[in-house]
Amino acid sequence: MLEKAWAKACGSYARSIGGVTAESLKCLTGAPVYTLNHNQVDIQALWEHIYHADQNKYVMACAIGEEDHPGEH
């Protein structure tokens, strides 16, 4: 549902591709966002962030970029 709403806000689905998940969530919900790059934190800290967010019933999203999938476009 959020993906469709974001595409509508952008004018089309094609124009919404390549956006940052945090931007769309902030725009659509007005809620503060926090971005964590798994490449910049050790695995224990990552799981602590996820556990904390889950316990507080935060909305969580996961996104991948081209750097995570070299050779795929």
Sequence spans of domains, the chain? 18-68
Residue stretches of the chain with pLDDT short of 70? 17-19, 65-73
CB 16 within 8 A of CB 8: no
CB 33 within 8 A of CB 12: no
CB 57 within 8 A of CB 31: no
pLDDT of residue 52: 95
Task: Determine if residue 11 is left, alpha or beta; phi over 0 gives left, psi from -120 to 50 gives alpha, anything else beta.
Answer: left
Residue type, 64: I
What does residue 12 show for φ and ψ, rounded to 5 degrees? -170, 160
pLDDT of residue 72: 45
pLDDT of residue 36: 85
Does pTM surpass 0.75?
Answer: no
pLDDT of residue 18: 65
Instruction: Record the tokens describing residue 33, joined without a space.
Output: 């966002």
pLDDT of residue 65: 65
Query: Per residue in 8-26, pLDDT tens?
Result: 888 877 777 666 777 778 8
